[in-house]
């Protein structure tokens, strides 16, 4: 067993051994019974041949026949209990591992998901959990049923004739040597197969979620080629693993044939020269042949462990990723009374050497609307992420009602903040389920009231199933405006003192935007609101407007005040409205 596999097995056993020790103990007892029954059945062949066929003993005929029946019945029950117990343990391990992986994913930060594809994560939760079951099951069966059986049968062979045993086992070291050389090939093929399976999931996901783009741009041949390449890769790697694992079979058959031939020659020579009884020879051959199959499985176990070790290692790589949102030290809850937001000298970058926010200072007054405007890439959306602690600033402080949010629990912070973005995410389920996602304890009546406040009730009432209408994957069964209204209803249900809006109407037509703007004004009434907007017409009512450029606030004030200053805001405003009134005027404004 290689050094890379053994630590994984030790960790799995250390984490799961105590929990499943009683079940494993019963399974091991059952496997010992199976091994003992197998060895006993082989040994009885000596007496069957000598007593029944050579000595013509009628009493032995009845006794040995009954004994064989009892031994195989006991073996059958032992096999049943060991397989059922190991199967139940394995299935429970898969379920437990999948829960553990998903719970860990809930505790990692946003940057973790930004660095990985969803297809890769799907593979890690599904395939890697199965690898845990396969590794522990292989260890249990190999070092339980198969090893015990081989030990019992080899013990029987030694008891019958030590010299014949040595002759039969002479090829064992060669099998071990060749198996070790095959492990590297298995490991490489298993790694490639997992990545190729992720490619299949990725292509299917992109087709499902981007079907309109695929069909509009006639990308069917390209998508088909991607899927064909991924499927072909999986097939090729699976065949490689099959071919490598199958090498053991002809090797074992050849060595087994040599062993049987050598034993027959030796036993025949002993019989001709010393008159040994045939019963001993037949019992030995029976034990040798019965040991062949478990020995074959033991020789292949190393390869199976190498294949499953890839998935187990990937699982631990995921679990060992720091869970940055799992607060090990209990922090006091954030208590929001007014909702004043202050950012003091905040510096943040997705990579430490490339700051996006550069010493930013900003105030969002309580129960007022604060707008963030500026060119794309200035850091506006990043600020909303920092306010929700999706990321932590490298330096500086963010305070709510004078409390540094870093010093308080993440859960209490997010309980006081509602976010409505431009890319509305709906969970697969009903409209009611998606509204209730804002507050899991909300009653049906409260959800309906929230939908009315968001202007969503009329279109929901027109659906054949009303609030029980399925929205489909990513909300595909409802329109963009309807999705946005559902998300606003979700915000009404949550009912928090702080509202964050990230261009919630940017993808809507003017009429729908006008309706939703009125609903958003109702949502933000008497709440601290921070809104990002590129359409300046949507934030003319804002109490404070901050212009963000290159990660800093370059000017602040009301709409009227900023226009009078004639600074960056004024230029943005004139540029936008010049384009609306006279498309050719934008050049003159610049």
What kind of architecture, by CATH, is found in domain 334-416+498-511+525-558? Answer: 3-Layer(aba) Sandwich (3.40)
So what's the pLDDT on residue 212? 61
pLDDT band at 395 (very low <50, low <70, confident <90, very high): very high
Give the CATH number of domain 423-495; options: 3.40.50.300, 3.30.1360.200, 3.40.50.10480, 3.30.470.30. 3.40.50.300
Contact call for residues 211 and 269 (beta carbons, < 8 A) = no
- Report which DSSP code applies to 321: S
pLDDT at 345: 94
HSE value, Cβ hemisphere, 13 Å, CA-based, for 511: 0
Residue with the larger pLDDT of the pair 590 and 457: 457
Are 522 and 453 a contacting pair, CB within 8 Å? yes
Q: State the sign of the Cα–Cα–Cα–Cα dihedral 549, 552, 555, 558.
A: positive
Does residue 493 surpass a pLDDT of 60?
yes
Residue 473 has pLDDT above 70, yes or no: yes
Distance CA 158, CA 42 (A): 13
pLDDT digits (tens, 9 = 90+) for 375-393: 888 899 999 999 999 889 9
**553: closest CA among 358, 404, 396, 397?**
358
Mean pLDDT of 330-355: 91
Confidence of residue 172 (pLDDT cuts 50, 70, 90): low
pLDDT at 587: 45
Could you read off the pLDDT of 40-66 as tens digits, one per residue?
Answer: 988 888 888 888 888 888 888 889 999
Residues in a beta bridge with 404: 399
User: Averaging pLDDT over each range in 286-300, 324-338, 466-480, 552-566, which range is the top one?
Assistant: 552-566
The mean per-residue pLDDT over the stretch 274-299 comes to 82
| Its pTM surpasses 0.85 | no
pLDDT of residue 54: 84
586: left (phi over 0), alpha (psi -120 to 50) or beta: alpha
374: nearest Cα among 491, 547, 255, 520:
547
CA distance 459 to 137: 54
Residue 160 has pLDDT above 70, yes or no: yes
**Nearest to residue 95, comparing CAs of 197, 20, 198, 189?**
20
Q: Could you report the per-residue pLDDT of 527-562, keeping only the tens digit for each?
A: 999 999 888 888 888 999 999 998 999 999 999 999
- Mean pLDDT along residues 326-348: 88
CA 304 to chain CA mean position, Å: 22
- Pick the more confident residue, 332 or 164: 332
> With 50 as the cut, is the pLDDT of residue 585 above it?
no
- As given in the structure block, the two tokens for residue 132 are 């845990």
Which band of pLDDT confidence, cut at 50, 70 and 90, is reported for residue 209? low
Q: Which fold has domain 6-319?
A: ABC transporter transmembrane region fold (1.20.1560)
Tell me, what's the pLDDT at 46?
Answer: 87
Q: What is the pLDDT averaged over residues 121-139? A: 83
Assign residue 585 a region: left if phi > 0, alpha if psi is -120 to 50, beta otherwise?
alpha
Distance CA 453, CA 475 (A): 20
Whether 334-416+498-511+525-558 shares its CATH topology with 423-495 is answered: yes
Range with the largest mean pLDDT of 261-270, 428-437, 475-484:
428-437
Give the pLDDT confidence score for residue 586 in this predicted structure.
45
| CA of residue 499 relative to chain centroid, distance | 32
Mean pLDDT rounded to a whole number for the chain: 83
Ranked by mean pLDDT, which of 212-216, 222-226, 322-326 comes out on top? 222-226
pLDDT value, residue 341 = 95
pLDDT of residue 548: 93
Whether the pLDDT of residue 119 is over 80: the answer is: no
- Radius of gyration over every alpha carbon of the chain, rounded to an integer in angstroms: 36
Complete edge-to-edge strand list for the sheet that includes strand 341-348: 357-364, 341-348, 395-400, 403-404
Least confident window among 228-237, 251-260, 460-469: 251-260
Residue 583 has what pLDDT? 52
What is the predicted pLDDT for the residue at 497?
93
549 burial via Cβ count (<10 Å: 0-12, 13-18, 19+):
middle
Residue 480 has pLDDT above 90, yes or no: no
List pLDDT tens digits, range 414-451: 999 999 888 888 888 999 999 998 898 899 999 999 89
Per-residue pLDDT, averaged over 206-231, amounts to: 76
Q: What is the pLDDT of residue 588?
A: 42
- What pLDDT was estimated at residue 590? 39
Phi, psi (deg, nearest 5) at residue 357:
-105, 125
Domain boundaries, the chain: 6-319, 334-416+498-511+525-558, 423-495
Kindly tell me the burial class for residue 56, based on how many C-beta atoms sit within 10 Å of its own C-beta (0-12, 13-18, 19 or more): exposed
Q: In what order do the strands lie in the sheet with 544-549?
A: 417-421, 498-502, 528-532, 369-373, 544-549, 552-557
CA distance 209 to 435: 22
């Amino acid at each position: 067993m290689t050094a890379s596999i053994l630590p994984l097995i030790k960790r799995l056993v250390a984490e799961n051994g105590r929990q499943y020790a009683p079940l494993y103990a019963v399974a091991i007892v059952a496997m010992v019974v199976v091994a003992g029954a197998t060895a006993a059945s082989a040994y009885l062949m000596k007496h069957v041949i000598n007593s029944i066929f050579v000595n013509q003993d009628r009493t032995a005929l009845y006794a040995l026949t009954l004994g064989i029946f009892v031994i195989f019945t006991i073996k059958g029950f032992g096999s049943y209990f060991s397989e059922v117990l190991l199967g139940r343990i394995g299935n429970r391990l898969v379920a437990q591992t999948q829960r553990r992986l998903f719970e860990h994913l809930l505790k990692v930060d946003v940057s973790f998901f930004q660095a990985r594809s969803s297809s890769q994560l799907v593979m890690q939760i599904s395939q890697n959990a199965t690898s845990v079951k396969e590794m522990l099951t292989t260890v249990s069966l190999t070092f339980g049923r198969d090893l015990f059986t081989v030990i019992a049968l080899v013990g029987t062979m030694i008891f019958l004739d030590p010299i014949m045993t040595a002759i039969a086992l002479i090829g064992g070291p060669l099998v071990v040597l060749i198996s070790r050389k095959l492990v590297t090939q298995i490991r490489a093929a298993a790694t490639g197969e997992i990545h190729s399976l992720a490619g299949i999931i990725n292509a299917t996901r992109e087709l499902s979620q981007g079907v309109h783009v695929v069909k509009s741009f006639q990308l069917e041949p390209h998508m088909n080629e991607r899927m064909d390449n991924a499927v072909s890769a999986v097939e090729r790697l699976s065949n490689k693993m099959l071919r490598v694992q199958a090498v053991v079979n002809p090797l074992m058959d050849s060595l087994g044939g040599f062993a049987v031939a050598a034993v027959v020659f030796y036993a025949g020579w002993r019989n001709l020269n010393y008159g040994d009884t045939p019963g001993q020879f037949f019992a030995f051959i029976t034990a040798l042949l019965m040991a062949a199959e478990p020995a074959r499985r033991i020789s292949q176990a190393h390869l199976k462990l190498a294949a499953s070790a890839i998935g187990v290692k990937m699982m631990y790589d995921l679990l060992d990723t720091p869970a940055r949102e799992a607060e090990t030290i209990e922090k006091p809850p954030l208590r929001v009374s007014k909702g004043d937001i202050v950012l003091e000298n905040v510096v943040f970058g997705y990579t430490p050497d490339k700051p996006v926010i550069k010493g930013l200072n900003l105030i969002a007054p309580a129960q007022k609307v604060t707008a963030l405007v500026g060119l794309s890439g200035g850091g506006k959306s990043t600020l909303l992420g920092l306010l929700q602690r999706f990321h932590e600033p490298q330096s500086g402080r963010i305070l709510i009602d004078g409390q540094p949010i870093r010093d308080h629990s993440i859960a209490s912070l997010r309980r006081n903040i509602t976010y409505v973005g431009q890319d509305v995410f709906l969970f697969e389920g009903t409209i009611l389920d998606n509204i209730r996602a804002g507050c899991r304890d909300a009653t049906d009546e409260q959800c309906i009231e929230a939908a009315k406040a968001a202007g969503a009730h009329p279109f929901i009432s027109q659906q054949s199933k009303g609030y029980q209408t399925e929205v489909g994957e990513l909300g595909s069964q409802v329109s963009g405006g309807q999705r946005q209204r559902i998300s606003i209803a979700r915000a009404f249900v949550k009912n928090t003192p702080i509202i964050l809006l990230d261009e919630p109407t940017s993808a809507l037509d003017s009429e729908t935007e006008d309706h939703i703007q009125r609903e958003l004004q109702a949502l933000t009434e008497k709440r601290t609101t921070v809104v990002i907007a590129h359409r300046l017409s949507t934030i003319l009512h804002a109490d404070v407007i901050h212009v963000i450029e290159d990660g800093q606030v370059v000017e602040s004030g009301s709409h009227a005040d900023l226009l009078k200053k004639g600074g960056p805001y004024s230029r943005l405003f004139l540029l936008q409205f010049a384009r609306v009134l006279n498309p050719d005027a934008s050049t003159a404004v610049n």
